[in-house]
Amino acid sequence: MKVWIDLLIASVFEITWAIALKYSEGLRRFWPNVILVIAFLLSFIFLARAVRTLPIGTAYAVWTGIGAVGTALLGMLLFAESTAPLRLLCIVLIIVGIVGLRLLSAAG
């Protein structure tokens, strides 16, 4: 179970650096860049811990999936990005894939 917590933490840091990237205005603002770099490093550290146990394909797919869903949802909340029904359906499909990979994983 701890390996999945590491992967979740890695994913939260992935979302953090992606949102910081938006706030950095093309890497032109200092503090968003600091947050971006720290979150990026922490994301990879926790992902590296997770792949010691999980298959790389599963870990990477779950990491990017959670990151994509979280970033898309925050984009809707913070930046008024589209909430079109088909876009939301696609997000739900990503979540289904993440859950499926977790349920089918032999590790943890």
Secondary structure of residue 80 in the 3-state scheme: coil
In this predicted structure, the answer to whether residue 105 has a pLDDT above a threshold of 90 is: no
Residue 1: predicted pLDDT: 87
In this predicted structure, the answer to whether residue 9 has a pLDDT above a threshold of 90 is: yes
CB 101 within 8 A of CB 63: no
| Residues 11-62 pLDDT 10s | 999 999 999 999 999 999 999 999 999 999 999 999 999 999 999 999 999 9
- Provide the mean pLDDT of the chain: 96
In this predicted structure, the answer to whether residue 107 has a pLDDT above a threshold of 70 is: no
Q: pTM for the whole thing? A: 0.92
In this predicted structure, the answer to whether residue 82 has a pLDDT above a threshold of 90 is: yes
Residue 108: predicted pLDDT: 56
> Would you state the structure tokens that stand for residue 100, as one six-digit string?
């499926």
